[in-house]
Amino acid sequence: MPHNPNWSREEHIVAFNLYCKIPFTKINENYPPVVELANIIGRKKGAVSRKLANFARLDPALQARNVSGLTHGAKGEETVWNEFHDNWEQLAYESEKILAKYKGVTLESEIDLSDILEIKEGKERETIVKTRVNQSFFRKAILASYSQTCCITGIKVPELLIASHIIPWAHNKKERMNPQNGLCLNALHDKAFDKGLITITPDFKIKISEALKSNIDGTYMKYFHPYEGKIISLPGRFFPKKEFLEYHSEQIFAK
């Protein structure tokens, strides 16, 4: 057991890391990832569960649904919450580094780097590792927020789901890791969204481009028409930011 009853900054960071990666409805002391984190950091599983619930009290998406976590929390939760929201790019990576340290493993051992084994140690490799780590964090956060369900079609096969960026990865470094810049889409609708053939309006409605509607082989009618004008299934947390949706509708969507 820890000798210090107060949670450290690093413990708060790895707890928030887990908060991002599991659905709110799964927060309880017997959920395996909660038990695993408790064992890793040397805390009781009930304490970890309560810490995650404390983070939930700060979540605007949950507040909008009149869902709340525990009503009382610590200053450390607010500090880490704000740090992440101010710099998702850095804090997501830092949280994974700290988690690897607690596990007693290297960060590189936690991700698949089989395709870059020939790249020697140095700045290039470090950049690739950071990108892979962050992309993995983003995917887990998005799939957890949407309960591993495509927000357009309802497909629930994780192998077919993509953590799609609303503002493309390369267009905005500051927001590329922000879960509010993400949607959970199946591979087909992800590609259509990426190419601007469909968009999600700021009021969360699905809009389809004229270019796709003019498709003559039946693709539009079969795979897209049933969803036009419908509201996407909203996530349990990290609602898509309306300004991000506006950007996609105005800058990416092929009207």
69: which 2 tokens? 């976590």
**61-97 tens-digit pLDDT:** 776 666 655 556 678 899 999 999 889 999 999 999 9
**Cβ-contact 146, 154 below 8 angstroms:** no
**Cβ-contact 182, 166 below 8 angstroms:** yes
Give the pLDDT band of residue 2 (cuts 50, 70, 90). very low
Question: What's the pLDDT score for residue 119?
Answer: 61
Average pLDDT over residues 216-223: 84
* pTM of the shown model: 0.89
Instruction: Give strand pairing partners of 205.
Output: 231
**90-145 tens-digit pLDDT:** 999 999 999 999 999 988 787 776 665 566 666 777 888 888 899 999 999 999 99
Give the pLDDT band of residue 1 (cuts 50, 70, 90). very low
- Identify the residue whose tokens are 């960060």: 107
Q: d(Cα 55, Cα 70) in Å, to the nearest integer?
A: 8
- Please write down the HEC assignment for all residues of 155-173: CCCHHHEEEEECCCHHHCC
**159-171 tens-digit pLDDT:** 999 999 999 999 9
Per the prediction, the chain carries an average pLDDT of: 89
Average pLDDT over residues 213-242: 91
152: which 2 tokens? 């357009």
Residue 182's H or E segment, with its range, is strand 182-186
251: which 2 tokens? 């800058």
Residue 198's H or E segment, with its range, is strand 198-200
Q: Is the pLDDT of residue 190 over 70?
A: yes
One-letter amino acid for residue 199 of the chain: T
**14-66 tens-digit pLDDT:** 999 999 999 988 999 999 999 999 999 999 999 999 999 999 888 877 766 66
One-letter amino acid for residue 9 of the chain: R
